[in-house]
Structure 1
Amino acid sequence: MYDVSFLELVSRYAADKHLRPKSVSTYTAVVRLFRRYLGHEAYPSMVTRPMVIEWRTAIIRTPARPDGITEASWNNYVRHLKALYNFGIKHQLIACAHNPFLEVSVKQPKAPKKSLQPLQIRYAREVLEVCRRFETAYDECSKIHPAWFWQVLMETFFYTGIRLNQLLHIQAGDVNLKKRIFRASAAGSKTHSESILPIPDGLYPHLYTLIVAAHNSGFKRQDQLFNVNRFSHRHRRTDMDTWQVEHFFQVLSEMTGCKLSPHRFRHFLGTSLMESPERNIHLTQNILNHTDIRTTMEYVHPDVEAMRRALNARPPV
């Protein structure tokens, strides 16, 4: 039996599971936090269940420690570390027999998913349109530049609910304007599955603008389509990354006074589809690329007015 270090354990686990770089970074970050608490000289085999409970007590949010991590964050740490220990114990890489991260998760509050209101979306569109008109009229960079590109990106999130990482993996050749479909590859998918999605009528003119601009800029079929760096006087990176998209939404949120993000657009779409009288849960599942229909069911919210009518309809006593 070996007794590997935490970093060696992550390395071997990543190689065995053929993890994506982003997943490796997530595991490494969780391990780094745990080692910071334990001391960098600690080995996985030295960890006991009481030590894990002490760590949980030290970092989780409580009324006395409101700046601690949330229950959801703790459970996320547990999932990653439990998987590492299961792998290490199974392959005799850790000199211990029991996983100290078993049954240490906590119950977390079931808060509604953070979504958007139609008025907030309309205001965001108005802000972007003002920026676009400014750049067209004065041939200068606005606070959001190039505004036309960010309009296309935001409308893509609005109409498709696509995950950020999957959008960043869309290539120029993945969009077929003639058939009005686009391919969301498995490369950026959280569920490791490729899907073919329709281009809704409202999104078509925006994607048409992007495709024409990409063609004029000499894009090849395998080039990253949503790449602000190819259209901007301000950006100088080779590929567009998560940080650039998050920074755009941060600036837009400051300008509109409401929190906007790709995930909130995704939740807005899911809620809208499931509130529609013609709702089809299996279509919604396919559009959002959920592997488990229970995830899609989370977008079914109780109708308060319907509950009120049911209560009012009770016969008097």
Structure 2
Amino acid sequence: MTTPLKLTEEYIFAHDLREASAKIYRASTKALLKHFRTTPIEEIDHRAVLAWRKKILENGLSKRSWNTYSNHLRTVWGYAIEHGLMTHTTINPFRKTSVVPPKRASKTINGEAIQRARNWLTSLVGQERCTQERTQITPAWFWLAVFEMFYYTGIRLNALLCLRYKDIDWDNKMILVRGETEKTHREFFLPIMEGLAPHLCRILGEAEKIGFSPDDQLFNVNRFSRHYHGKEMNIDQVESIYRKLTDKIGVRMTPHRFRHTLATDLMKQPERNIHLTKSLLNHSNIATTMNYIEVDYDHMRAVLHERSLAQGALSRVRRVDSSGTPPTSAITAPSAQIRLPSRKIADPKPTTLQPPQQQAAIEEVIIDRPSRSSGPSALRKALEFASAQLHSGSMESATDSPSDQIDQNLLLTLMASGLGVGTFRKRTQSERSMGSTSFSRASP
């Protein structure tokens, strides 16, 4: 009789899985059996799986844990269907049963926290050397070397524990990571960086003194301190040290978080080489690497700012006058700004000019940048219109200054004609006694 447990064992037997991976497959199958118990495998269809999902999520299982069950069982059922271990159906009941989990909290460690942890470990190294007594983390020099291995290489915890004495190629400054120790089952090399070299050198030197053989576990704290009595260093010993680091620094630190931090830091570099990052972390595909990279919002903000500068968007930002002058009307365009500055008139009494005097008041008009569509005829029409406005100005109410009317009418007329008005000046008989008024184009 075919059972879920038999299918799982068949799958594990047919694949070269690490023990940790096989453990996850068995745990997923046990969760299935806990719900379905003795239900025949033929009755575990898609609807029955969805009903299980609903119940288990309502009982508090996280969506990520459910996806772990769903993905591993889908793989087992797919293998069974492909190899004829199940003949009652060709439909995988675990297809499309995963759910969208909530976004994970950031798994990176900020640089300031990493530096504080490094400084603390370094101080412990000095303390042990001076006092010859064990500290909270001992031997401190060894655990500092472990810390720097995770920081510089992003190596997986299991891979570090499986490094042998002969896997360090000191002449070529390379570290061999064997395929059987990796999730991807692929062998690869890690470079020994300048900052990591002194720590590895200390490890190799101490190992040589003790008499390590080529196949001995290199990172084995039990061999370097009389306070440990195990044969091989295990995951629990490493995780215990990182819990102490977390308590001391106040920021959660784990070996795996150094992988996320390394990937994110590399993508902040000018080169942003995703293939280099993928190779260093020994991922099978780039999609996995992208999941390790956290969003850098400061970098995002800087890139968007560079875009706005390159496209000239910032030239359209309203300018603030900090000179303390009364607010004036301003027209902002992509290519120019025209401001109507406040006027200072010595004599507050309005001076009424006769039409002939007004006509003689315009001595010159300077056009800096005429529009391409405007020609001499457009300018002549604008001046004729302005002249007519000047003659009619004497008939307006005496409450408004005729000079203000002349300035504004002429300016608005020139603008309406489509001319690119840069600067124009008007001089009148009254201005020679009161000072001149000018309109100038604001600097972009």
Amino acid corresponding to residue 183 of structure 1 in structure 2? L
Out of 277, 281, 306, which is 2:302 matched to?
Answer: 306
Out of 162, 165, 169, the residue aligned to residue 169 of structure 1 is 162
What letter matches 1:107 in structure 2?
V
Which residue of the partner structure matches residue 36 of structure 2?
38
Q: Secondary structure at the match of 2:115?
A: helix
Query: What is the root-mean-square deviation of aligned Cα atoms in Å?
Result: 2.3
Q: Provide the secondary structure at the position in 1 that maps to 2:147.
A: helix
Residue identity opposite 2:281 in structure 1: L
Answer whether contact 1:74 1:105 (CA < 8 A) is retained.
Answer: yes
Q: Deviations over 1:236-287 (max 9, x none)?
A: 2222222222222122211221100111111111111110113322222211
Which structure 2 residues correspond to residues 131-146 of structure 1 after superposition, within 5 A? 131-146=124-139
CA deviation profile, 1:192-249 (whole Å, cap 9, x unmatched): 1111221000000000011111111211111111111211223222222222222221
Q: Which residue of 1 aligns with 2:236?
A: 243
Partner residue, 2:101: 108
Q: Which runs of 5+ in 2 are unaligned?
A: 318-332, 334-444
> Equivalences for 1:204-223 in 2 at 5 Å?
204-223=197-216
2:264 is aligned with what amino acid? T
**Residue deviations 1:32-57 (CA, integer Å, cap 9, x gap):** 22222333x34543423233222222
Q: Contact 1:168–1:188 at 8 Å: present in 2 too?
A: no
Secondary structure class of the residue paired with 1:197 = strand
> Higher mean Cα deviation, 132-141 or 306-315?
306-315
Is 2:40 aligned against 1:47?
no
Question: 1:91 pairs with 83, 94, 112, which one?
Answer: 83
How far has the Cα of 1:311 moved from its partner?
5.6
Q: Higher relative contact order by CA 8 Å / sep ≥ 6: 1 or 2?
A: 1
Question: In 2, distance between residues paired with 1:195 and 1:107?
Answer: 33
Cα distance in 2 for residues equivalent to 1:164 and 1:191: 14
Worse-matched range after superposition: 91-100 or 257-266: 91-100
Query: 2:279 matched to which residue of 1?
Result: 286
Q: TM-score, normalised by structure 2?
A: 0.65
Match of 1:277 in 2: 270
- Larger Rg belongs to: 2
**Cα 1:20–1:172 shift into 2, 3 Å:** same
* Residues 5-28 of structure 1, C-alpha deviations (whole Å, 9 max, x = no match): 232222211111232222211111
**More divergent stretch after superposition (178-187 vs 102-111):** 102-111
Counterparts of 1:304 and 1:27 in 2: how far apart (Å)? Answer: 40
Q: How far 1:91 sits from its partner (Å)?
A: 3.2
Query: Does the 8 Å contact 2:18/2:183 carry over to 1?
Result: no
SS at match of 1:193: coil
Secondary structure (helix, strand or coil) at the match of 2:267 reads helix
Mapped to 2, the partners of 1:197 and 1:189 lie a distance apart of 13
Task: Provide the secondary structure at the position in 1 that maps to 2:176.
Answer: strand
Which of 156, 165, 175 is residue 182 of structure 1 equivalent to?
A: 175
Q: Amino acid of the residue matched to residue 27 of structure 1?
A: Y
**TM-score calculated relative to the size of structure 1:** 0.89
Distance 1:233 1:13, change over 3 A: same
- Aligned partner of 2:424 in structure 1 is none
Contact between 2:106 and 2:294, CA under 8 Å: does it hold in 1? no
- SS of the aligned residue for 2:225 comes to coil
Question: Which residue of the other structure, out of 47, 66, 75, is the alignment partner of 1:74?
Answer: 66
Quick one: structure 1 residues 288 and 18, their matched pair in 2 at CA, closer, same or farther if it must change by over 3 Å? closer
Matched residue type, 2:36: L
Aligned partner of 2:6 among 1, 5, 8:
8
Gaps of 5+ in 1: none
Aligned to 1:267: 260
Contact 2:66 2:98 in 1 (8 A): yes
Q: AA paired with 1:29?
A: A
| Equivalent pair of 1:45/1:95 in contact (CA under 8 Å) | no
Question: Is 1:128 paired with 2:121?
Answer: yes
Determine which of 27, 30, 33 is the counterpart of 1:29.
27
CA contact (8 A) 1:89 1:96 kept: no
* Equivalenced residues, count: 309
Q: Give the corresponding residue for 2:152.
A: 159
Amino acid corresponding to residue 153 of structure 1 in structure 2: V
- 2:189 partner SS: strand
